[in-house]
Chains A and B, each alone.
Chain A
């Protein structure tokens, strides 16, 4: 068993870690207090996050500090500015943010405060998927405690710095995890993604400068400010520093959310942490980071779990949520389950996605029903190529098409085996 330093889930081990008393006793709000007490320049805070190399944990892996630096100069652009924390955790396989909000809400609040200080925000909205009742309630209770303790609101700790943090509840639409869909939804509308440009930093919530960050990204910020960017870079890899929460699900003995350094071999997570493939079976396939990342065959399990390495293996790191399929699993059935999901979640704005996701589902369903036709695999391929890359307003179309292309690339024979042989013509 390999050993490594952890920090994300350390406090969560304490009893009542979600309360202010326990969290503060364990050092919560120390990093934020340090920022206030030393009167750090807001730009210096952003610089530290940039230097740490922290990459967004919501799926795209975009550098967080760089995203912050896109916010317009406060002297020349005096509009109100906002941050939305993306807690609409809906990517199949992914369930890490709920652990963070449920067990250590104060660390997320502290991260929001530091981000608000760095970007001179007027308010932060934490957009939580509607189904996450307990994580939402824990966050709201923590926020109430923090406000009562003078840590949130006006003139925080007598520093002159003010910031409001608000909880906001979604209502169950995957597309609201897309940052512009999230903003539309937060404004009280259908969650239809917006064409980009304009980008959120220039035209976000209510047309004001806005940054959208994933829960786990913001959760890393207090540690970076307290222990320094150099410390952060001692964990993980050169291009993907830090630890991440790997939710591993599917056919393993011990599914769970594990804290590991970026760059750890996928095999170590499966075999050492998750107890190996269940029922003594062999691995057939795995998704590295949620359902939108292309499925990989068993012989790629030594791939290090970081953005560049997983990309090199022909997939994407995504949310780092590994989904494991054992030797008995049917890859085509999994493709159907996901096609059905994307069809359900397409917002319907772009025809490639609206129609494409439905056709994908229908074609894969007829293969499994024994009604497949000889041209179906080429049809699936053509259809997917019409849906990706970059042909639509947002990436949902790509997310639906790429996994099907990956499944066809690595498991084509499973699809072919489902097509009935042509009936022999008797003469």
Chain B
């Protein structure tokens, strides 16, 4: 069993918010990814399917639709650089380059030492503070290359 009892208990509470328990699936997948190694393994998806009384393929169909879910292992720190228009106009490419240099990862992959996963993402809704990136869920805004090096360097 990949799904621990603690999460099952949490999901029992979560599903009470909705007239149909399935509505808890996406928040539940978030919790699995947070607690169980940073990605959703086939075992976790199968266990979630069993919990929500769905076919595994239905859970896979949902998990694979949403960009925030990882279906393969990723580096310890997830670095997401926004590439959309407001960030692009204010130097997003420079941010991506600095992040690549600092992490040793290229976009869409993890660094060899497993410390970082780097990705370019679409608009994160921080356009008035562009360019920006998200590191392990935390927003870093009004960036320049120097700030990127400082922030990511601090995680090494």
Please tell me if B148 contacts chain A, counting CB pairs below 8 Å. no
A56 to B8, CA, bound (A): 39
- A-side interface size class: 35 or more
A158 to B24, CA, bound (A): 31
Q: Please give, as numbers and ranges, the residues of chain B lying within 8 Å of A412 by CB-CB distance.
A: none
Q: Are A337 and B83 in contact (CB under 8 A)?
A: yes
Please tell me if B134 contacts chain A, counting CB pairs below 8 Å. yes
Nearest residue (CB) in B for A338 is B85
Q: Please give, as numbers and ranges, the residues of chain B lying within 8 Å of A189 by CB-CB distance.
A: 22, 62
* 8 Å CB interface, A228-261 against B: 247-251, 255-257
Interface segment, A17-25, A162-170, A303-311?
Answer: A162-170
A205 CB to nearest chain B CB (Å): 8
B91 CB to nearest chain A CB (Å): 11
Question: Which one of A133, A324, A325 contacts B138 once the chains associate, using CB atoms below 8 Å?
Answer: A133
Q: Please give, as numbers and ranges, the residues of chain B lying within 8 Å of A190 by CB-CB distance.
A: 61-62, 65
Q: Are B89 and A169 in contact (CB under 8 A)?
A: no
Interface segment, A62-70, A90-98, A373-381?
Answer: A90-98
Please tell me if A282 contacts chain B, counting CB pairs below 8 Å. no
Nearest residue (CB) in A for B86 is A249
Q: Please give, as numbers and ranges, the residues of chain B lying within 8 Å of A247 by CB-CB distance.
A: 127-128
Q: Are B86 and A323 in contact (CB under 8 A)?
A: yes
Q: Are B123 and A172 in contact (CB under 8 A)?
A: no
Q: Please give, as numbers and ranges, the residues of chain A lying within 8 Å of B125 by CB-CB distance.
A: 89-90, 94-95, 97-98, 129, 131-132
Q: Please give, as numbers and ranges, the residues of chain A lying within 8 Å of B24 by CB-CB distance.
A: 188
Whether A188 touches B25, Cβ cut-off 8 Å, given contacts A131-B125, A172-B67, is: yes
Q: Mark B60-85, 1 if CB is under 8 A from A, else 0.
A: 01100111110000000000000111
Q: Please give, as numbers and ranges, the residues of chain A lying within 8 Å of B52 by CB-CB distance.
A: 188
Nearest residue (CB) in A for B16 is A166
Question: Which one of A92, A97, A206, A329 contacts B127 once the chains associate, using CB atoms below 8 Å?
Answer: A92
Since A171-B67, A345-B122 are in contact, a sample of 4 more A-B pairs with Cβ atoms closer than 8 Å, ordered by chain A residue number, is: A133-B137, A172-B66, A256-B128, A321-B127
- What are 9 A-B residue pairs whose CB atoms fall within 8 Å in the complex? A95-B125, A172-B68, A188-B20, A191-B66, A255-B129, A291-B84, A324-B89, A337-B88, A341-B123
